[in-house]
Amino acid sequence: MPALATGSACDMGLYELLAALPAQLQPHVDSQEDLTFLWDVFGEKSLHSLVKIHEKLHCYEKQNPLPILHGAAALADDLTEELQNKLPNSEIRELLKLLSKPNVKALLSVHDTVAQKSYDPVLPPVPDDIDDEEDSVKIIRLVKNSEPLVRLFCIYLQT
């Protein structure tokens, strides 16, 4: 199927292709029921919204943005410590309560992980004192990638 539009990926893209798809598929559809189904699926507003969000994020990613700060969690901890030494008012108490919530701490931790691009797990080193000839000890490392963990077990068991 030829591209529907020319221009940059941020200007024209998946959204326009999705909007024009039912009309382009109409000659290949056998029944009116199937055509109605296609129009309903591809005309769904929530699907269009998700595609628009995807395109915006894709364009933002292409700009290769750099984080302003790599240690937001540490900064929040420093701020909490500094604010605890201040004369408490309602705003300071509210901010301290907010910064102490586990979901905010987790969000800042995830921000730091993404900012530092440290996505891979940190694995402990394999012990040196393991006898390679001994069959009774097996060290297995599972490193989850994009595949489901169940599939990894099945692949391991088949080999």
61-109 pLDDT tens trace? 888 878 788 899 999 999 999 999 888 899 999 999 999 999 999 999 9
List the domain boundaries for the chain: 14-62, 72-116
- Give the 3-state secondary structure of the chain: CCCCCCCCCCCCCHHHHHHHHHHHHHHHCCCHHHHHHHHHHHCCHHHHHHHHHHHHHHHHHHCCCCCCCCCHHHHHHHHHHHHHCCCCCHHHHHHHHHHCCHHHHHHHHHHHHHHHCCCCCCCCCCCCCCCCCCCCCCCCCCCCCCCCHHHHHHHHHHC
pLDDT digits (tens, 9 = 90+) for 7-32: 444 545 676 777 777 788 888 888 88
Amino acid found at 25: L
Global pTM exceeds 0.75? no
Residue-level pLDDT at 158: 46
CA distances from 26 to 4, 35, 47, 65 (A): 16, 7, 20, 41
Q: How far is residue 157's CA from residue 159's CA, in Å, rounded to a whole number?
A: 6
